[in-house]
Amino acid sequence: MNSKSVFKLALLHLIYLLMKVDNEIDFREVKYLERILQEEDISDELLTDFKVQLSKLNDQEIFNRGVKLVGLCTEGERIRVFSILHTMAAADGKFHESELRFLTQIGMFSSNEICIV
């Protein structure tokens, strides 16, 4: 698997979990997801393969796989993942505590660093 695929899969795993962590999926989050799929050039084939994987995994396995994939990304890609996740968390106009907790659980940043961004 090439670096770009690793980045895209890491992003898909973590966006999927982040979108549902506050127990509500807002239409603005869906619109932002559509924009990310286009901007990051995530193919329909990769998205379909990802959806098939989802059906076989529980949330903890999805989380573990996403964190592992992020660990395989370059520093620049990890920063890009975080930036996208941070924007997704705020896409509905609210930054829920559960979203903040999720971002810190990924282990990429502390809660103080997230608040500063």
CATH of the domain at 13: 1.10.3680
Tokens of 65: 């796989």
pLDDT given for residue 70 in this prediction? 93
User: Over 50: is that where the pLDDT of 114 sits?
Assistant: no
Choose between 1 and 63: higher pLDDT.
63
What whole-number percentage of the chain has pLDDT above 90? Answer: 70
**Spatial CA neighbour of 95 closest among 80, 115, 70:** 115
Q: Count Cα neighbours of 92 within 13 Å in the Cβ-side half-sphere.
A: 18
Average of pLDDT values for 55-67? 95
Give how many domains the chain has, as a whole number.
Answer: 1
**The model's pTM:** 0.86
User: Given CA atoms 18, 21, 26, 27 in this order, what sign does their dihedral have?
Assistant: positive
Helices (H) and strands (E) in the chain, counts: 7, 0
Q: What residue numbers bound the domain in which 73 lies?
A: 3-116
